[in-house]
Structure 1
Amino acid sequence: MNKLGFLLVLAIFSCSPKKSSLTIATAANMQFAMSALVEAYEAETGTDCEIILGSSGKLTAQIQQGAPYDLFFSADTKFPEALQASGNTIGEPVIYAQGQLVLWSMKENLLVSLDQLSSKEVSHTALANPKTAPYGLAAEEVLKRLNLYEANESKFVFGEGISQVNQFIISQAAEMGFTAKSVVLSPNMSTHDNWITIADSLHSPINQAMVILKNDRGLGKEAEAFATFVRSEKGLSILRNFGYR
C-alpha cells in the first residue's frame, strides 16, 4: 500500500463513529441504585452506559413515541407489560426488585408518622402523581386505606415523579412526603434519618420490572448483558444495599 492509500485508510478509521453507549431509561426511584449498578458494570466490562431518569409513565410514553432507549427499568410491572403489548420490547418483562415506600421529613424535630399527616404541624405532604408514578399510587392506596386521603387532600402537593417529590421534601416545601426507601438509603441522604418504612400490607406490592427495548441501535447483546448483570449476585447485592427486596 502506498503512502496515500495508507493515509486514506487511517482517515477512514479515525472518522469511524464509536459504538453508542447503552441507554437505560430508569424510574426515578432507582436513580441512586442505578448509578451504583452502572458504575460497577462499567468498571467490570468497559461498556459505557447513559441513564435517562423520569417517572415510569413518562418514560413509557417516550418509548412509545420512538425514544431510542435500550432498556427500561420501571417502578412497576404495568408499564413494561404495556410496552410489550404494543410491540416495543424484546422478550417479556422481568421483575428485578420489590421496592419499599417510606414517609420522610427533613424537619429534624418533626415526629414522622402517618397520624402526624393530619396535624397542624404539617401543611404540605408530597407524593408522586399516582397516574404516572407507581410509588405515588402506593402512597395514595395507603392514605385511602387509612381514611387519611379526603381529610388531608388540601395538603397534598404532587410531583411528576419521585425526583420532584424529593425536591419538595429536601427544600422543606413539604413538611413530609412519600418516597422510595432507596432514596433515604443513598449515600448523600443517609444522614437524614427522619423517616419510617410504610408497612407492605397497606398497599399493593411495588414489583419493579425491567425489559429490553426493540430499536435499530444494534445493542441488543449489550442490553441483555446488562440485564443479566442486574440479576447476578453482584447486581442483587447492590439493590439490597438500597433497600430493595
Structure 2
Amino acid sequence: MKKLLPLFLAVFFVIFSCKEKETKKLNIAVAANMQFAMKDLIKKFTEISGIQCETNVGSSGKLTAQIQQNAPVDIFISADMKYPEELYKAGFTIKKPEIYAYGKLVMWSINKDVKPSFDILTTDKIKHIAVANPKLAPYGKATVEVLEKMKLYDVIKNKLVFGESISQTNQFIISRAAEIGFTAKSVVLSPEMKGKGSWIDVNESDYSPIAQGVVVIKHKNAENADAQKFYDFLFSPDANKIMVNYGYK
C-alpha cells in the first residue's frame, strides 16, 4: 500500500492539473459599450480556437483601476485609447495599445411619446437626461463635448443623470428613470435592444473620434498565448464583420 501511495498521488496531481488547465478561461475586461458585440465576438472566437472566455464589464476608467490593483485580467477591451495608454506607460501591458474600432454616439428614448432630438432636451417634456460619467466613460465625455459645442450643456445640466458606465446609463433609459439619454450605437443595434424605443445618430463631426483600444495585460513570468490569440482575432475579417454589424467602424 505504501508503495502505491506515491503513484496514486502522482496520478491525482496529473488529473487535477489537466482539469485545471481544461477549465481555465481567458479573462477579458470589457468596456460597457462593447458588452453586446463581445458576446458574438467570443462565440466566434471560441468556435475557431476552442478557448473559453469570461468577461468583466464596466466603465473603462473603473476597469483600468482594477487592473492597476492586479485584478485577474488577461486582455482589456477599452472604449478609448486614454486608459490603455495609461496602463502601457505604467508597465501593465505587453505592448502599446492598438485601435480595434471607432464607436458612434446616439440619442435614445424608450418613451413612445418622446421623439429624440436636441430641441426636445430643453422642453418641459424632458426632466432627466441619462449620460455616462464623463470622468470614467469615453461615451460620456463625447456626450458632454457635443452638448458644450451646441451650447446646450449649461442650459440642461440640471437635467443630467450620470451613470457610472454605459450599462448603468442604459438602465436609466430602459427603466424610464430618464426620458431620454445618450449611449453607444452598438447598444441600440444589439439583439437585446433592437426595436426598443427610438434613436438618432449624433453627428460625428460634433465630437472627437471615439477610438477604442485593446491591450494584452502583462503577467509575471508568464506569456499569455490565449490572450494574444484573442488580440489577433479582434483584427480579423470575422471580428470586423461582427463589429460593423454593431455600428462600429
The interval holding the TM-score normalised by the smaller chain is over 0.9
TM-score w.r.t. structure 2 length?
0.94
Query: SS of 1:89's equivalent?
Result: coil
| 1:22 positional shift | 0.7
What does 1:110-125 align with in structure 2 at a 5 Å threshold?
Answer: 110-125=114-129
Corresponding residue for 2:207?
203
Corresponding residue for 1:47?
51
In the alignment, is the contact (CA less than 8 A) between 2:81 and 2:212 conserved in 1?
yes
Corresponding residue for 1:25?
29
Corresponding residue for 1:127?
131
Please give the per-residue CA displacement for 1:120-155, whole angstroms capped at 9, x wherever unaligned.
Answer: 110000000101100000000000000110111110
In the alignment, is the contact (CA less than 8 A) between 1:125 and 1:176 conserved in 2?
yes
State how far apart, in whole Å, the 2-side matches of 1:57 and 1:228 are: 24
Corresponding residue for 1:81?
85
How many corresponding residue pairs? 244
State how far apart, in whole Å, the 1-side matches of 2:245 and 2:233 are: 16
- The yes-or-no answer on 1:239 pairing with 2:243 is yes
In the alignment, is the contact (CA less than 8 A) between 1:68 and 1:215 conserved in 2?
no
Q: CA RMSD in A?
A: 1.4
Please give the per-residue CA displacement for 1:219-239, whole angstroms capped at 9, x wherever unaligned.
Answer: 521111101111000011010
Query: SS of 1:52's equivalent?
Result: strand
In the alignment, is the contact (CA less than 8 A) between 1:70 and 1:219 conserved in 2?
no
Corresponding residue for 1:171?
175
Correspondence for 1:230 among 220, 224, 234: 234
Correspondence for 2:97 among 93, 118, 131: 93
Query: SS of 2:85's equivalent?
Result: helix
State how far apart, in whole Å, the 1-side matches of 2:5 and 2:205 are: 73
In the alignment, is the contact (CA less than 8 A) between 1:22 and 1:219 conserved in 2?
no
| 1:216 positional shift | 3.2
Corresponding residue for 2:69?
65
Corresponding residue for 1:9?
10
In the alignment, is the contact (CA less than 8 A) between 2:107 and 2:200 conserved in 1?
yes
State how far apart, in whole Å, the 2-side matches of 1:191 and 1:220 are: 40
| 1:217 positional shift | 8.0
Corresponding residue for 1:184?
188
In the alignment, is the contact (CA less than 8 A) between 2:107 and 2:199 conserved in 1?
yes
State how far apart, in whole Å, the 2-side matches of 1:217 and 1:48 are: 22
State how far apart, in whole Å, the 1-side matches of 2:103 and 2:148 are: 20
Corresponding residue for 2:143?
139
Corresponding residue for 1:160?
164
Corresponding residue for 1:34?
38
| 1:44 positional shift | 1.6
| 1:15 positional shift | 2.0
In the alignment, is the contact (CA less than 8 A) between 1:184 and 1:193 conserved in 2?
no
